[in-house]
Structure 1
Amino acid sequence: MNYPSMPDEKRARSRIVRRITVVILAVFLLVIATGSALAYVFVKRSVEPIDPTSTETVEVEVPYGVGSGYIGELLEEKGLVRSSTIFRLYTRFKNESSFQAGTYTLSPSLSLDEMISTLKTGKVIVVPDIKLVIPEGFTIDQVTARLAKTADLPKEQISEKLSDREYIRSLVNQHEMLTEEVLADGIYHPLEGYLFPATYEFNKGVTLEEIIENMLEPTERLYQENKNQIAASGRTFHELLALASVVEKEAVTSEDRKEIAGVFENRLADGMKLQSDPTVWYGTGESSIFTTFADLENDSLYNTYRYGGIPIGPIASVSRDAFEATLNPNDTENYYFYARPPREDFPKGEVLFEVSYEDHQKNVSKYRSEWEEFEEANKN
């Protein structure tokens, strides 16, 4: 029997020791790397905004002479930073210390660097006294009601201003997009469709005229940006805005807007009436799920069942998307569409398009009961 010599045993033990050492070292380095990575992720997350999309604001009062530790605790308590410790260490690492006393309006949408900058410079996020939100498809009447409530103005004052022909003429002189078309006989509201749907912020003391001017500016920009294409279309801006407002009220998605605009172009090209229910409702001043025969007979120049072509004016506020869809409609073979009510798979509803009237009528017959059920389920 052969036995290993002593030098062989020593070499074997040395190899084992080296392997163990390498394994221990590798594990040690892995632990350090993992810890460093976790620490990096934690710190990175801590310096980022708590909620980048937040519109909430929080008032924070920083006393005179306090340090970063106190300020960090104050910000953490207000829900503006994730960790007061990280705030304190981060400010030390960046050698930031010249914080100014005062009352600040801060937001969870600010990063740690933005928070520090604000507290150093004394920059305050100003909370507007008036925040006016106008959704797409709002009518002048809805805008008036929202503005009266938000800005604490009498509805009568707003309505009177928006129907003041002398005031409207002054706006026509100021804005290239506005023409005498808005003052034509049969127009219900001269500025219908021209008050752009958006969120507006104003301070106390703002005048009604300033609010209206602010709401006209985005529409003026939309006109100027598309001026050449508007001229090439052979239609006036007013006509395109009127058609786009009908598209706005009929569609539920961006793609629907393009397709519905294409359907309307087909109807206009063939001398058909647009036959859009929202134009009927605008003319009667009533909104309903179903349009009655009496509604269809209403003698309003907005009624596209009674009168051919584009309505005399817009019937609602128009989004950029709806206007651009009207300028660039789909080249489609469809002439008809039918909207189904919102449901689980289509929370905004669904629009069905057809080439033939017969197929369109099949959709009407098949899905009309859905609207009856929807109306019943949503009764107040």
Structure 2
Amino acid sequence: MPSQDKQPKRRAKHVEVRQDARDLADKRVAEKKIVDKIVYWIVGILVVLILGGVLIGALYVHTALQPIDRHSTKKVDISVPLGASNEQIGETLVKQKVIKNAKIFTYYVKSHNFSAFQAGFYELKPSMSVKEVANQLSNGGSQISKHRVLVKEGITIDQIGDQIAKKTPYSKKAFLKLMKDQTFAKQLAKKYPDLLASSMAKKNVRYHLEGYLYPATYNYYDGLSLKGLVRQMVAQENTYMKSYYKKIKSEGLTVQQVLTLASLCEREGNNASDRAKIAGVFFNRIAAGMPLQSDISVMYALNTHKTHLYNKDTAVKSPYNLYKNKGYGPGPFNSPSIASVHAVLNPKSRAMGYLYFVADLKTGKVYYSQNFEEHTSTNTGIQTKNNSVN
């Protein structure tokens, strides 16, 4: 009976299939347990890493908010320019070693609702926390720096170098080297073409910025670069000269020529009236093809100051010697005041035909002459009078 012989075999096969299914299920359960353990470990590690990162981050922020050196007695002058952002202020504070981290500073002032800090000068310390720094900045600073560089009317770049060496960490040598830096001068000329184009076009110029460093008092603060200080001076010159550019052009002059005559008038005259008359004399001499014959030009050529000049002095070989050379020369001889610029552009008494002038050094009075004979006579009279007084 064939049907009865095949039935046990079918049952055996069913049993084997069920056993395989159970084995597979058991295997999957075992694998799932392994996977779960791996997942748990990974999640656990990630949690530990995240918590560790949070703790490290919190510690980093906490440390960054603390003083650089709690025991430091150092004081640092910080300048906050008008319109400076919190990010820029933070970078300055880091650069000057007042705080540790600019981003943390920015985060702190933002999260604590500090409003925009006022422009001014601040005296801060490395012993201050970010909170203390922010509080001081919010109180407002001084409008005057303790360190000020005075550029007087009529002083030369050489003399400005003395002031910079006295009032800043920069040496006179470094300043004069910068004044010779053609790349720096060209950068300034590109920014202020109306002001500096005529200077850059001249040859045999000792310093292209002579006459272009505006006479004023400049605040110096720690971290201000030498270039930054000079840029302030040139920017000021451009600001005050702007209103004269149109007139200079209409008169057929260049800025270089105007500042050259202004620098001579600055030193030759004692008041606005005399400077305007002296400017008239210079223009008359140029029109007549005569050299300007200013003692100021000779002293600049000699790079010295003298009360009296001798023939050997006025014969010095230099493009700046306007006893020998006609015209305006290479450029300005000092930093003239804006009043002297105004005098040059508004000369007086040209119609009088004055070609000479001489000043009484004791009284300061200036005498004008139309010819050499009259000039010699006046000069002799002044010397005789002063000698008799002595």
TM-score, normalised by the number of residues in structure 1: 0.62
Partner of 1:351: 366
How big is each residue's C-alpha offset from its partner over 1:203-253, in whole Å with a ceiling of 9 and x where there is no partner? Answer: 221111111011011211233211210110111111111111111121111
Identity between Structure 1 and Structure 2 (%): 29
Partner of 1:235: 253
2:384 and 2:300 map into 1 onto residues whose CA distance is 24
**How do 1:7-46 residues align onto structure 2 when only pairs under 5 Å count?**
none
Partner of 1:99: none
The answer to whether the 8 Å contact 1:258/1:328 transfers is: yes
Segment of structure 1 superposing worse, 124-133 or 232-241: 124-133
Partner of 1:303: 321
Does the alignment pair 1:255 with 2:273? yes
**Correspondence for 2:157 among 123, 127, 140:** 140
How big is each residue's C-alpha offset from its partner over 1:82-130, in whole Å with a ceiling of 9 and x where there is no partner? Answer: xxxxxxxxxxxxxxxxxxxxxxx9xxxxxxxxxxxxxxx9555344032
1:135 and 1:295 map into 2 onto residues whose CA distance is 26
The answer to whether the 8 Å contact 1:336/1:357 transfers is: yes
Residues 369/287 of structure 1: CA separation in 2 closer, same or farther (3 Å cut): farther
Residues 180/338 of structure 1: CA separation in 2 closer, same or farther (3 Å cut): closer
Partner of 1:360: 375
1:247 and 1:305 map into 2 onto residues whose CA distance is 16
**Correspondence for 1:336 among 356, 379, 382:** 356
Partner of 1:14: none
Does the alignment pair 1:326 with 2:344? yes
Partner of 2:21: none
The one-letter code matched in structure 2 to 1:337 is F
The answer to whether the 8 Å contact 1:289/1:371 transfers is: no
**How do 1:121-270 residues align onto structure 2 when only pairs under 5 Å count?**
123-176=140-193, 177-179=195-197, 181-182=199-200, 184-270=202-288
Residues 148/370 of structure 1: CA separation in 2 closer, same or farther (3 Å cut): farther
The answer to whether the 8 Å contact 1:165/1:183 transfers is: no
In structure 2, runs of 5+ residues without a counterpart are 1-121, 123-137
2:387 and 2:221 map into 1 onto residues whose CA distance is 45
1:279 and 1:160 map into 2 onto residues whose CA distance is 23
SS at match of 1:221: helix
In structure 1, runs of 5+ residues without a counterpart are 1-104, 106-120
1:283 and 1:325 map into 2 onto residues whose CA distance is 24
The answer to whether the 8 Å contact 2:157/2:210 transfers is: yes
Segment of structure 1 superposing worse, 123-132 or 254-263: 123-132
How big is each residue's C-alpha offset from its partner over 1:148-181, in whole Å with a ceiling of 9 and x where there is no partner? Answer: 1111311111111111111111111111211263
Residues 169/187 of structure 1: CA separation in 2 closer, same or farther (3 Å cut): same
1:372 and 1:286 map into 2 onto residues whose CA distance is 26
The one-letter code matched in structure 1 to 2:153 is E
Residues 288/371 of structure 1: CA separation in 2 closer, same or farther (3 Å cut): farther
The one-letter code matched in structure 1 to 2:245 is K
2:219 and 2:141 map into 1 onto residues whose CA distance is 16
Shift of 1:303: 0.9
2:266 and 2:386 map into 1 onto residues whose CA distance is 20
Segment of structure 1 superposing worse, 247-256 or 330-339: 330-339
How many residue pairs match? The answer is: 252
SS at match of 2:239: helix
Shift of 1:362: 1.3
How big is each residue's C-alpha offset from its partner over 1:186-210, in whole Å with a ceiling of 9 and x where there is no partner? Answer: 2111110000111112322111111
1:361 and 1:339 map into 2 onto residues whose CA distance is 12
The one-letter code matched in structure 1 to 2:346 is N
The one-letter code matched in structure 2 to 1:151 is T
Partner of 1:285: 303
SS at match of 1:275: coil
The root-mean-square deviation of aligned C-alpha atoms, in Å, is 2.4
SS at match of 1:179: helix
Shift of 1:183: 6.2
